[in-house]
A and B are shown apart, each in its own frame.
Chain A
Amino acid sequence: MSQSKDPAIPSNCTRLTGSEIMWATLEGEGVREVFGYPGGAILPAYDALRKFPIRHILVRHEQGAAHMADGYARATGKVGVAIATSGPGATNLVTGIATAMMDSIPMLCITGQVSSKVLGTDAFQEVDITGVTLPVTKHNYLVTRAEDVAPVIREALMVAKSGRPGPVLVDITKDAQQATAEFDFAAAAPRPHRPHPMLRAESEEVLKAAEMIRAAKKPVILAGHGVIKSEAREQVIALAERLQIPVASTLLGLGGFPASHPLSLGMMGMHGEAWVNQAIQQSDLLIACGMRFDDRVTGSLATYAVHAKKIHIEIDPAEINKNVKVDVALIGDLADVLETLLPHLAARKSSAWVREVNAMKGECAVRDIQNLPDTGHLYAAHVMHDLWHATGGKAIVTTDVGQHQMWEAQYYKHEEPRTLITSGGLGTMGFALPAGIGAKIGQPDKEVWVIAGDGGFQMTAAELSTIVQENLDINIAIVNNGYLGMVRQWQEFFYDKNYESSPILSPDFVKLAEAHGIPGVTVRTRAEVLPSVKAARERKGPFLINFMVEKEDSVYPMIPAGSALHEMIRRPDHNPLIETAQDA
């Protein structure tokens, strides 16, 4: 009888079950943590798990497993692994897979499947998950034989992280898990990854780009998620500093370029500050670095940066000229491309353009919510600002989707890559809590804050229990405005304040936390913010703060969908909320 403490399979034994091969391959690839939930079709794999030095985090819903693997990947740069059973387990992963796909996150999902003999017969808990996930995975596989398990998993991991990364799903039939095969890790190595044949950064193009950069009077760097993925921070800083080019970031690019850098403008797009979007609209050269001109970033394409030439540095050839027509495309890994570009550029001392952009900033600061008097009322912007201040901008912050997400992006100044973890492309509510768990597992020594709205938090709140079971030191901030706030804001601006189905009732979040054994407090005034954050940080273990913020506050500025970047709704000079508060 083997003992459960056996570290691994004896090395002389190479004939293993498909399940053992699955874990041994993951172990060989350096995987040490997986997020999952068992069920019939994946039970053989769970049965074999105890023989391997892999930590399994039991989730409360498979969507959580996918978001945890995603948060893990975003926080570490490694491939996150999620495991689920067939049928409902597999379909529960789908939202998480689509979230990872839209943000190009390297992730491996392993699902159990009914036995190969009954495939296609509507057997109990059978679902064609490779069919279902085909459009939301980078690639997927159905494995029906034990001997294919190792090569497929190794190839899947390579596909997930190579080129433009993305989620990959491996569906393994129950009989393939149970059958035995020879296991030879080395022999299962995949063919080297074929780079996309349309990558192009030829020297004429690089020279042309360099010439355009030298000639530009009003250049702006658009720093996207690619800066973080390609680890091109140093090169982007060098480019910006050498030619004194201001840097605007996409939501997912935040942290790629240090927020405190004098050339940092902050976030661009729908909820970008006015000076950022104005700088882009007035620019004569946009240098897009690892970003894809998403509609939330460009507004109306017809009016987008019409005076600007565009250089697009991007790893995915399919993104070139997709939304915005560019003048020069350098298609390749951002860090590599910038390395070849930089030697062609000489330093420039000062820039009238930078002074001009800074002047625009000054004008906006007047309207800033932080300049409003402390009326005792609590604004989400204050919460974000104070949280940033208390954590020195160094915490890993995961956010959900909605107003609080935009306030976080505006007021929490991220200095380091991989410190903002948020669902940008898909905008998936319920993301923050599980993604925060994944991030903490991946970066146990980092301070992790989960920031969620009262609506989104309720979508995946069951994972509170996972935090406790795994004994994780995670702090949770709920921005509680009693509304699906972003929906309410759209209804206010564009639907005559018809607040249909946007007021949302919530449980007492502090009591909910306490029911899980997690302490928490409710905060109603600005004065209580810092002390509560301090308490959360000092306490070992999880802590929840329920911030009761202004109910009908809106995120400003806002560019209505499809409008030009400069046609923004500005924060009112006199905030009616404040005035009523003073009247009261």
Chain B
Amino acid sequence: MLHTFVALVEDKPGVLTRVASLFRRLNINIVSLTVGRSEKPGTSRMTIVSEASPSAGHRIMASLYKLENILQVDDIGQHSSVSRELALIKVAATPKTRSHIFELAEVFRARIVDLAPESLMIEITGVESKIEGLIQVLNESEDKILEISRTGRMVMRRGQHTSRVLDAMRVAGVETESITETPEQIAEEVDLPQ
């Protein structure tokens, strides 16, 4: 099964290697790994998606925490969260064949970000299934996909699961008791369309 971890790590040379090396050592395949600067100076946030047995989550998390450069790890599991991926897709298209791709893009809320005489580039953001949906439709309508580049999954838990959120709320004088995790329905709405 897929395990998704979000890790706050020190932004230093070699940290990515340490994380990657850990998965290699455990003989666990990394499906995707995204990393970028976080809200805290000197730190980065990673989303790591890996394919491993259902019981492997505990060991992966415990092992990640053994890395000195890892500050915080969250095993997303079934927690309510927002998951996004960005993909750039270059499709072969002439001025004559473009228009139905524009329509497809509209349906998928994707954007055309480059037009050339023989091709165009689509930018699409969403959950993986949405991106895969577009790719499938493009394939089925016999458009020739020339190039795909995907960021991999990026995940953030909803609501107040970190003490940092609570701290921020307290400073703002908000009654923390009244804040509950965002209901699942809202999650569905925001993610639409698939």
Among A134, A196, A197, A321, contact of B55 (Cβ-Cβ < 8 Å): A321
- Say yes or no: A135 contacts B66, CB within 8 Å: no
Stretch at the interface among B41-49, B57-65, B92-100: B57-65
**Bound Cα distance from A320 to B17, whole angstroms:** 25
Write the A132-148 contact mask toward B (1 if CB under 8 angstroms, else 0): 00110011001000000
- Say yes or no: A317 contacts B17, CB within 8 Å: no
Beta-carbon contacts under 8 Å, A451-466 to B: none
- Say yes or no: B21 contacts A134, CB within 8 Å: yes
Query: Nearest Cβ distance between residue A477 and chain B, in whole angstroms?
Result: 37
Closest residue on chain A to residue B66 by CB atoms: A318
- Given A318-B62, A321-B55, A321-B58, A139 and B68 contact (CB-CB distance below 8 Å): yes
- Say yes or no: B25 contacts A135, CB within 8 Å: yes
Write the B50-79 contact mask toward A (1 if CB under 8 angstroms, else 0): 000001001101110111100010000000
Q: Is A184 an interface residue (CB 8 A)?
A: no
Closest residue on chain A to residue B63 by CB atoms: A318
Closest residue on chain A to residue B17 by CB atoms: A134
List chain A residues, Cβ under 8 A from B67.
139
List chain B residues, Cβ under 8 A from A196.
62, 65-66
**Bound Cα distance from A576 to B100, whole angstroms:** 87
Most B CB contacts (10 A, CB to CB) among A131, A197, A321 go to A197
List chain A residues, Cβ under 8 A from B58.
317, 320-321
Query: Nearest Cβ distance between residue B20 and chain A, in whole angstroms?
Result: 10
A interface residues, tally (CB under 8 Å): 18
Query: Nearest Cβ distance between residue A195 and chain B, in whole angstroms?
Result: 10
- Say yes or no: A134 contacts B18, CB within 8 Å: yes
Closest residue on chain B to residue A155 by CB atoms: B68
- Say yes or no: A198 contacts B62, CB within 8 Å: yes
**Bound Cα distance from A313 to B68, whole angstroms:** 23
Q: Is B173 an interface residue (CB 8 A)?
A: no
- Say yes or no: A316 contacts B59, CB within 8 Å: no
Q: Is B117 an interface residue (CB 8 A)?
A: no
Q: Is B14 an interface residue (CB 8 A)?
A: yes
**Bound Cα distance from A320 to B58, whole angstroms:** 9
Closest residue on chain B to residue A319 by CB atoms: B62
Q: Is A497 an interface residue (CB 8 A)?
A: no
B-side interface size class? 10 to 19
Residues on A close to B: CB < 8 A? 130-131, 134-135, 138-139, 142, 159, 164, 196-198, 316-318, 320-322
- Say yes or no: B65 contacts A197, CB within 8 Å: yes
**Bound Cα distance from A196 to B68, whole angstroms:** 10
**Bound Cα distance from A164 to B67, whole angstroms:** 12
Beta-carbon contacts under 8 Å, B1-50 to A: 13-14, 17-18, 21, 25
- Say yes or no: B21 contacts A198, CB within 8 Å: no
Closest residue on chain A to residue B13 by CB atoms: A142
List chain B residues, Cβ under 8 A from A318.
59, 62-63, 66
- Say yes or no: A317 contacts B62, CB within 8 Å: yes
Among A131, A138, A159, A316, contact of B62 (Cβ-Cβ < 8 Å): A316
**Bound Cα distance from A262 to B52, whole angstroms:** 46
Query: Nearest Cβ distance between residue A226 and chain B, in whole angstroms?
Result: 16
Query: Nearest Cβ distance between residue A426 and chain B, in whole angstroms?
Result: 15
List chain B residues, Cβ under 8 A from A159.
68
List chain A residues, Cβ under 8 A from B21.
134-135
**Bound Cα distance from A321 to B62, whole angstroms:** 11
**Bound Cα distance from A466 to B82, whole angstroms:** 62
Q: Could you list 18 examples of A-B contacts with CB < 8 Å?
A: A131-B17, A134-B18, A135-B21, A138-B66, A139-B68, A164-B66, A196-B65, A196-B66, A197-B65, A198-B61, A198-B62, A316-B62, A318-B62, A318-B63, A318-B66, A320-B62, A321-B58, A321-B59
- Say yes or no: B14 contacts A130, CB within 8 Å: yes
List chain A residues, Cβ under 8 A from B13.
142
Q: Which 3 A-B pairs have the closest CB atoms?
A: A318-B62, A317-B62, A139-B68
List chain B residues, Cβ under 8 A from A131.
17
Query: Nearest Cβ distance between residue B181 and chain A, in whole angstroms?
Result: 22
List chain B residues, Cβ under 8 A from A317.
58, 62, 65
**Bound Cα distance from A177 to B55, whole angstroms:** 47
Closest residue on chain A to residue B71 by CB atoms: A194
List chain A residues, Cβ under 8 A from B18.
134
**Bound Cα distance from A451 to B67, whole angstroms:** 36
Query: Nearest Cβ distance between residue B162 and chain A, in whole angstroms?
Result: 13
**Bound Cα distance from A322 to B14, whole angstroms:** 27
- Say yes or no: B65 contacts A198, CB within 8 Å: yes
**Bound Cα distance from A308 to B177, whole angstroms:** 44
List chain B residues, Cβ under 8 A from A135.
21, 25
Closest residue on chain B to residue A194 by CB atoms: B71
Given contacts A130-B14, A197-B65, 12 further A-B contacts (CB under 8 A): A131-B17, A134-B17, A135-B21, A139-B68, A142-B13, A142-B14, A196-B66, A198-B61, A316-B62, A316-B66, A317-B58, A317-B65
